[in-house]
Amino acid sequence: MEIQLTLNGKAVKDQVGADTLLLDFVRKHGCYSVKRGCETSNCGLCTVLLDGKPVLSCSTLAARADGCSVTTLEGVQEKAEAIGRFLAGEGAEQCGFCSPGLIMNVIAMEQELSEPSEEEIREYLAGNLCRCTGYMGQMRAIGNYLNRKGEEQNG
């Protein structure tokens, strides 16, 4: 079947199978930041924004995204790089494999919550697993990112 959606601001039309997952669809269209880290909808690495909401692309049918707007890390490069700088600043990453999903969910969180407490941040991001770290560096980095000022806000 044919679907049409907006992927990172560009209209994309393509044939998909009844069982094609959104994850495989966006990768086919060049969004290699989106990865599969588990088989059980648990890790959050495959997070994309579907009409602005964070969802697991590994558990979403491409057919259901027909007519929707999909955003991946490739579509929010500047913001992603800014968050990446804060993560690096705290030495938060070890292998960095979990970062794309985490960054997408931080972006979603920033849009949804205003001035979240540490507990609210932890709760919002609970579905982003990291196998290397204990999340302490990430929590510091995200705190710093949310409290950034001036020109960084735009970066």
Partner 1 sequence: MFKAREYVRVKSLEEAWNLNQKKSNVIVGGMMWLKMGRGQKGTVIDLSGLGLDTIEETEEAFSIGCMCTLRQLELHEGLNKEFDGIFRECTRHIVGTQFRNGATVGGSVFGRYGFSDILTCLLALDSYVELYQGGVIPLVQFTSMPYDRDVLVRIVIKKDGRKAAYLSQRNTQTDFPLIACAAGKMGDDWYVSIGARPKRAAVYRISGTGKKADELAREAASMFEYGSNLRGSGEYRAHLANVYVRRLIETIEKREA
Ligand X SMILES: Cc1cc2nc3c(=O)[nH]c(=O)nc-3n(C[C@H](O)[C@H](O)[C@H](O)COP(=O)(O)OP(=O)(O)OC[C@H]3O[C@@H](n4cnc5c(N)ncnc54)[C@H](O)[C@@H]3O)c2cc1C
Roughly how many angstroms between the first and final C-alpha of the chain, as a whole number?
Answer: 39
Orientation angle between helical segments 136-146 and 77-89, nearest 10 degrees: 130
User: Interface residues for ligand X in 40-99 (CB under 6 A)?
Assistant: 40-42
Q: Return the number of the residue (69 or 97) whose C-beta is nearest ligand FES.
A: 97
For position 26 contacting partner 1 by CB under 8 A, the verdict is no
Q: Which residue number, 48 or 154, has a Cβ lying nearer to ligand FES? A: 48
Residue 125 lies near partner 1 (rule: CB under 8 A): yes
**Beta-bridge partner residues of 69:** 6
Name the residue whose CB lies closest to ligand X.
40
CA-CA-CA-CA torsion for 33, 36, 37, 38, nearest 10 degrees? 160
User: What are the residues whose beta carbons fall under 8 Å from the beta carbon of 32, sequence distance 6 or more?
Assistant: none
What residues contact 3, with CB distance under 8 A and at least 6 apart? 13, 14, 16, 62, 63, 65, 66, 67
Out of ligand X, ligand FES, partner 1, none, which partner does residue 55 contact, by CB within 5 to 8 A per kind? partner 1
What residue spans of 30-134 are helical by DSSP H? 77-89, 99-112, 118-124
| 126 belongs to the binding site for ligand FES (CB under 6 A) | no
Per-residue contact string for residues 39-68; x = within reach of ligand FES by CB under 6 A: --xxxxxx---------x-x----------
Instruction: Please identify, among the stretches 6-14, 36-44, 67-75, 107-115, the one whose residues bind ligand FES according to the rule CB under 6 A.
Output: 36-44
| Nearer Cβ to ligand FES (1/38) | 38
In angstroms, rounded to a whole number, what is the distance separating the alpha carbons of residues 23 and 46? 7
Residues that bind ligand X (CB under 6 A): 40-42
Residues that bind ligand FES (CB under 6 A): 36-38, 41-46, 56, 58, 93-98, 130-133
